[in-house]
Amino acid sequence: MIVDLPWPPRDLHPNARVHWTRRHRATKKAREAANWLCPIGPLDADALNVTITFHEPDKRRRDIDGMLSNVKAYCDGIADSIEVDDSKWAISIRRGEVVKGGNVRFEIEVPT
């Protein structure tokens, strides 16, 4: 199962110096978007294998842990949608090719 989401806003980056209310609004918006855009309903699973592929919007240097923390609200929104807590996910992280506008792809598998 694949979920494609837009590149997260700068306000969600842990190094962004934004007011807490602005960060809260961006987090809430991203979490709701991930919940709504996730085509998967509740899953009957105790654990998941999730591969997150970052298709960056440009060739700027970004560290992978910053990108991962940028999508925490997305992970929470998907977890809300599929009803499997993200603490039960085995996460793999990859960099994809540069794509205009950027996006983040979540590939979700139920382990056998």
- The two tokens of residue 99 are 């794509």
Q: Write the pLDDT tens digit of every residue in 55-77.
A: 999 999 988 989 999 999 999 99
pLDDT at position 97, please?
94
pLDDT < 70 positions in the chain: none
What CA–CA distance (Å, rounded) separates 101 from 103? Answer: 7
Contacts 24+ apart (CB under 8 A), 12-17: 12/70, 12/71, 12/72, 12/73, 13/66, 13/69, 13/70, 14/66, 14/69, 14/70, 15/66
pLDDT at position 50, please?
95
pLDDT at position 46, please?
87
**pTM higher than 0.75:** yes
pLDDT at position 56, please?
95
CATH for the stretch 2-97: 3.30.1330
List b or e across 30-39, with b for residues whose CB sees 16 or more CB atoms inside 10 angstroms: bbebbbeebe
> How does the average pLDDT of the chain come out, rounded?
92
**Boundaries of every domain in the chain:** 2-97
What CA–CA distance (Å, rounded) separates 50 from 35? Answer: 16
